[in-house]
Amino acid sequence: MKKFLLIVGLSFSLILSQAQQIALLKYRGGGDWYANPTSLPNLIRFCNQNLGTTLDTEPATVEVGSKEIFNYPFVHMTGHGNVVFSDEEALNLRTYLLAGGFLHIDDNYGIDPYVRSQMKKVFPELEFIELPFSHPIYHQKYNFPNGLPKIHEHDNKPTQGFGLIYENRLICFYTYECDLGDGWEDISVHNDTQEMHIKALQMGANLIQYVFTY
């Protein structure tokens, strides 16, 4: 396993030195993993323009159990409903994250109980912990001293950013009661204000910068 992780880690280094592409996670269970079709393209465009990244303008789509997941240093997951990982898929996702990959989960309202149970299959020894507002993910190019922006209201709860941390490395960031991905979408989709659209993109850019820096 250690030899395999080393090889995968080296492959990530090669990816970062060459073409960069991020991916949308496709999962089973009936949840709409394909929600927010304009969100990642808009985030990529914003990052290339404002961070100087050279991300491929079209995100990939990758299945949880596919070995292709190791081609992408940043994988985004969203949806409203059920999520199911097989044992093989859970192991593949675990190996990817331990090898240096990063998963961003965005609750599009309704995914919370399902994704928590399935991530427990991936890392039974870990718990999601709320990251303090002092965490570097909130203080990259854009400063968010009060944590995640509130893009959409659902249950009148505050936004929360949860993380899975393995050996002092943040491997998964879960944005809850925020609807960050909705904020990345074309403004006309949800009739968000320009201000909230920009805040969402700025926080998303922080995620990308954090992943490529830490």
CA distance 66 to 74: 15
132 has a pLDDT exceeding 90: yes
pLDDT, residue 19, reads 59
* Predicted confidence (pLDDT) at residue 141 exceeds the cutoff of 70: yes
CA dist., res. 19 & res. 164, Å (int): 27
Q: At residue 11, does pLDDT exceed 90?
A: no
- Tell me if 146 sits within 8 A of 158, measured CB to CB: no
pLDDT at residue number 5: 46
Superfamily of domain covering 2-213: Domain of unknown function DUF4159 (3.40.50.12140)
- Across the beta sheet with 74-79, what order do the strands follow? 60-63, 23-26, 74-79, 102-107, 169-176, 160-166, 129-130
The whole-number pLDDT of residue 48 equals 97
Q: Is 205 helix (H, G, I), strand (E, B) or coil?
A: helix
Residue 156 has pLDDT above 60, yes or no: yes
Residue 152 confidence (pLDDT): 74
132 or 157: which carries more pLDDT confidence?
132
Bridge pairing between strands 160-166 and 169-176: antiparallel
Q: Is the model's pLDDT at 7 over the cut of 70?
A: no
pLDDT of 40 over the 60 cut: yes
- The mean per-residue pLDDT over the stretch 52-69 comes to 97
In this predicted structure, the answer to whether residue 110 has a pLDDT above a threshold of 60 is yes
pLDDT computed for residue 10 by the predictor: 38
What are the sequence ranges of the domains in the chain? 2-213
Cβ atoms within 10 Å of 21's Cβ, excluding its own: 17
What average pLDDT does the segment 156-183 reach? 95
> Residue 4: its pLDDT value, please?
41
For strands 60-63 and 23-26, give the pairing.
Answer: parallel
Q: Which residue has the higher pLDDT, 28 or 10?
A: 28
Task: Return the pLDDT at 109.
Answer: 85
Please choose, from the candidates 176, 184, 204, 5, the residue with its C-alpha nearest in 3D space to the C-alpha of residue 101.
Answer: 5
Choose from 5-14, 18-27, 65-74 the range with maximum mean pLDDT: 65-74
